[in-house]
Structure 1
Amino acid sequence: MILLGATALFSKLLPLSAIDITFGRAAIACIMLFGIVKLFGKSIFLDCKKDYFVALFLGLLMAAHWVSYFAAMQYSSVSVGMIALFTFPVMTVLLEPFFEGIRLVWQDLVSAIVVLFGIFLIVPEISLENETTQGVLIGVCSAVLYSFRNLVHRKHFSHYSGAHAMAYQTLVIFISLSFFSSDELFKASQETYIGLVILGIFLTAVPHALIAASLKHLRAKTFSLIACMQPLYGVTLAILVLDEQPRWQTLVGGLLVISAAIYETINAQKLHVNNR
């Protein structure tokens, strides 16, 4: 989670657009992830034809999510972008009835209200001309995309390891964004290419391989709670590395959002255990 949290820094460290960063990240991570799958002696092929179409759809969702993830932080700040993104656990709860046929309970609606209030605190003014407000809106859209991707993944693609699943999704991201990447990527400095290599290998391929390995030893609840710490790591790294100075409203709003995310994570696991 620390490694994934550090990805946010590259929205500011790399002098590239969100599309170019995502394209470069996906290209390098794709090669590494397929290599990791082969290293562990697994077949790189999927089980059936239907799974290739699911992988295509998931990859397109992830492409839009990653681009909006970096764009949110480029418009505002790492702190604001990461907090806006981590509205996704509550977004997932609100979208879940359309996938699982379950009903919302009043606690979920309270969580949604808490998240909305947290986002309200982060937004400096209700104006689309304000770049921070734009960053928050893009971050929330990224959260919706990520929630939708996770729900589709859980229902149709969860029988593959994290590394195997992400290998195909990064392949789709690479191919789809090849039509939109700019010439700036190919004119970048050596330092920028080194940054993309670090982002693609150590902050994308490696953490996803570690996640796949950790799930063999950890309960899903434990991992989900650890995942909720990602914004804390990201914001802390932004303060230390980028010298960001989040407003107190951003920190309070972030605390509300992350508290709601942790609550929904714990509650979801309780419901899962009770329904067994």
Structure 2
Amino acid sequence: MSPEKQSLTFLHSAVLLFGGTALFAKLIGLNALDITVYRTAVAAIALCAFLLFTRQAILLKQTKDYGVALLLGMVVGLHWVTYFAGMQMAGITIGIIAFFTYPVMTVFMEPLFSKRLPHMQDVFIAMMVLLGIYLLVPEANLGNQVTLGIVTGMFSGFLFALRNILHKRFFMGYSGPQTMLYQTLVASIMLCAFVEVPLNLVSQHDLYLLLLVGVVFTATPHALFAASLAHLSAKTAGLISCLQPLYASFFAFLLLHEKITLTTLIGGSLVISGAFFETYLVNKQAKAAKL
């Protein structure tokens, strides 16, 4: 197998596993915060073992980078709590669609750092995504669990977009596994004081699932995703990542028997299409800027 095909296999495997992560919001009998704490703790241990086994650096290059790692860990910790909470309230399919508004959010957040205004095509895509979200919302009332789940999922997308922007500007000098080691470690430590169910009271079934989501569905896909970038462009990685909601919805339908209505299908198609086109345009503009 050529290096390019191997990298493509790594990338699709990573995105498939990322899509499967959403299932654990329903499979594990804990609240979103508890799932996040235990998941990140397991992932941090697995990532540390991976870095030691592959003889990659663990310590950061500069003292100031630890402050950035702390900030990134706090943001990603809150992102994961809201990510799982949104799916527990709205369901896997609608929850992950709401989360995937983040590529469009990124375009409108980046000017705060780069002082570069969005293009008209970005505004059009944003309107398309908002229409998709409008179709998903059952009623304009936060007392409705699905509506609250959509808002929570979108807030999770906002936090994820913020994490990506901060990482791009201040933490690009580190590998994916090394970056995620610090983020999972900080997230777990930051949130552990708020755990509702202590580890000794977690059922054996949930413990197995937490080990599974921490090692197989968190540490492994991040390592695969980082490895795939050795022979693939960021554009390819970004576009293929847009398949994540498709994988998550398929798993939810197959394993959890979640029904997908016509309205959800139309609204979801608008949101995911917006994410796909925005990712494509951003990469196209970045390529043009280098010429």
Could you tell me how far 1:185 is from its partner in structure 2? 4.4
Task: Indicate if the aligned counterparts of 2:34 and 2:197 stay in contact, CA closer than 8 A.
Answer: no
Q: 1:195 aligns with which of 201, 209, 227?
A: 209
Q: Any idea what SS the aligned residue of 2:78 has?
A: helix
Residue of structure 2 in register with 1:166 after alignment:
180
Q: Deviating runs (4+, > 6 A) in structure 1?
A: none
Q: 2:155 aligns with which of 141, 154, 177?
A: 141
Residue of structure 2 in register with 1:259 after alignment:
273
Task: Indicate if the aligned counterparts of 2:42 and 2:214 stay in contact, CA closer than 8 A.
Answer: yes
Amino acid in structure 1 at the alignment position of 2:28: L
Task: Indicate if the aligned counterparts of 1:121 and 1:249 stay in contact, CA closer than 8 A.
Answer: yes
How far apart are the structure 1 equivalents of 2:105 and 2:269?
17
Name stretches of at least 5 consecutive residues in structure 1 with no aligned partner.
none
Amino acid in structure 2 at the alignment position of 1:252: I
Task: Indicate if the aligned counterparts of 1:20 and 1:185 stay in contact, CA closer than 8 A.
Answer: no
How far apart are the structure 2 equivalents of 1:87 and 1:208?
21
How far apart are the structure 2 equivalents of 1:85 and 1:72?
8
Task: Indicate if the aligned counterparts of 1:6 and 1:237 stay in contact, CA closer than 8 A.
Answer: yes
How far apart are the structure 2 equivalents of 1:7 and 1:269?
26
Aligned identity (percent) is 46
Could you tell me how far 1:184 is from its partner in structure 2? 5.1
Could you tell me how far 1:186 is from its partner in structure 2? 3.1
Q: Any idea what SS the aligned residue of 1:45 has?
A: coil
Name stretches of at least 5 consecutive residues in structure 2 with no aligned partner.
1-14
Q: 1:182 aligns with which of 196, 207, 214?
A: 196
Task: Indicate if the aligned counterparts of 2:103 and 2:278 stay in contact, CA closer than 8 A.
Answer: yes
Q: 1:235 aligns with which of 240, 249, 254?
A: 249
How far apart are the structure 2 equivalents of 1:222 and 1:52?
30
Q: Any idea what SS the aligned residue of 1:179 has?
A: helix
Q: 1:87 aligns with which of 80, 84, 101?
A: 101
Residue of structure 1 in register with 2:5 after alignment:
none
Q: 1:123 and 2:137 equivalent? A: yes
Measured on the aligned residues, the alpha-carbon RMSD in Å equals 0.8
What do residues 158-180 of structure 1 show as CA deviations (whole Å, max 9, x unaligned)? Answer: 11111100000000011101111
How far apart are the structure 1 equivalents of 2:90 and 2:200?
26
Per mean C-alpha deviation after superposition, the further-off stretch among 14-23 and 101-110 is 101-110
Q: Any idea what SS the aligned residue of 1:23 has?
A: helix
How many equivalent residue pairs?
276
Q: 2:117 aligns with which of 103, 116, 119?
A: 103
Q: 1:29 and 2:11 equivalent? A: no
How far apart are the structure 2 equivalents of 1:134 and 1:228?
24
How far apart are the structure 2 equivalents of 1:64 and 1:16?
16
Could you tell me how far 1:145 is from its partner in structure 2? 0.5
Could you tell me how far 1:217 is from its partner in structure 2? 1.1
Could you tell me how far 1:251 is from its partner in structure 2? 1.2
Amino acid in structure 2 at the alignment position of 1:257: V
How far apart are the structure 2 equivalents of 1:252 and 1:184?
41
TM-score (norm 2): 0.93
Task: Indicate if the aligned counterparts of 2:57 and 2:178 stay in contact, CA closer than 8 A.
Answer: no
How far apart are the structure 2 equivalents of 1:252 and 1:187?
42
Task: Indicate if the aligned counterparts of 1:16 and 1:185 stay in contact, CA closer than 8 A.
Answer: no
